[in-house]
Amino acid sequence: MIFSFQKQPKYSAIFLAGGEGKRFGRKKQFEQINGFPIWQYVRDKLCQLFDDYVVVGIDTPRGETRRKSVENGLKKIKGNKVIIIETARPLIDEEQINLMKTALENYKNVSFYKNLINTIYDGVGFARSGIFEVLTPQGFDVKLLKKCLKKDKTENPTDECQTIEKIGKVKTFWIEGDFRNHKITYREDLELINSYNLYNKIYKNKE
């Protein structure tokens, strides 16, 4: 079932919950946070911030690749701006979504990022300065995103910002992220996030 809260949506959300969880060892979207499957925990926390939304992998089938999953989600939404949310990042909150919505009023290609802490080696040399980690959520003008995905011949881009930059020639507007953008990739990531949530719950109860 696809949900809509207004007749003429402006902001839509695509929640990605169709991963195979190969590095995690099983489908992590069905692991529990606060007694709920991860995908449901993230959806319930954020869905009211949008005019309509779809959960890919639950409401509509996942694709064989991330790109196909995004395309499946785009077929179901009605907004002219979309924010793509990986449910494997369960600490994303209302503040971050509102930052992205504000940026989308002026930009068509928006993403979170985080500066690198460690030096990287690419087989040629060492680097850290001027390099950062690309995070999600990411937000887009829907018409531009659909156009670029249709023209892009890359088999499986790791995110949509690179497609917009390569095909649409539209630079990404960057918003600095933090621990809230942390992604569950391995089982220890889930343990870390559950510990973080427990700490915050105890701390807030003491206030």
Beta-carbon neighbour count of residue 72 at 10 Å?
20
Distance of CA 92 to the CA centre of its chain: 9
Question: Domain 3-206, what fold?
Answer: Spore Coat Polysaccharide Biosynthesis Protein SpsA; Chain A (3.90.550)
Write the CA distances from 114 to 40, 66, 134, 169, 174, integer angstroms: 26, 22, 7, 23, 10
**pTM attached to this predicted model:** 0.88
Beta-carbon neighbour count of residue 158 at 10 Å?
11
Map residue 139 onto helix, strand or coil. Answer: strand
Residue 82 near residue 140 (C-beta atoms within 8 A): yes
Write the CA distances from 32 to 39, 56, 60, 63, 133, integer angstroms: 9, 18, 21, 23, 27
Note down pLDDT in tens along the chain; length 207 residues. 555 555 555 999 999 998 877 788 788 988 899 889 999 999 999 999 999 999 999 999 999 899 999 999 999 999 999 999 999 999 999 999 999 999 999 999 999 999 888 887 777 777 667 788 999 999 999 999 999 999 998 777 888 999 999 999 999 999 999 999 999 999 999 988 888 776 566 555 555
* Residue 107: per-residue pLDDT: 97
Residues 63 and 71: their CA atoms lie apart, in Å, by 8
Q: Which residues contact residue 42 at a Cβ distance below 8 angstroms, ignoring those fewer than 6 apart?
A: 15, 85, 87, 89, 90, 92
Residue 70 near residue 160 (C-beta atoms within 8 A): yes
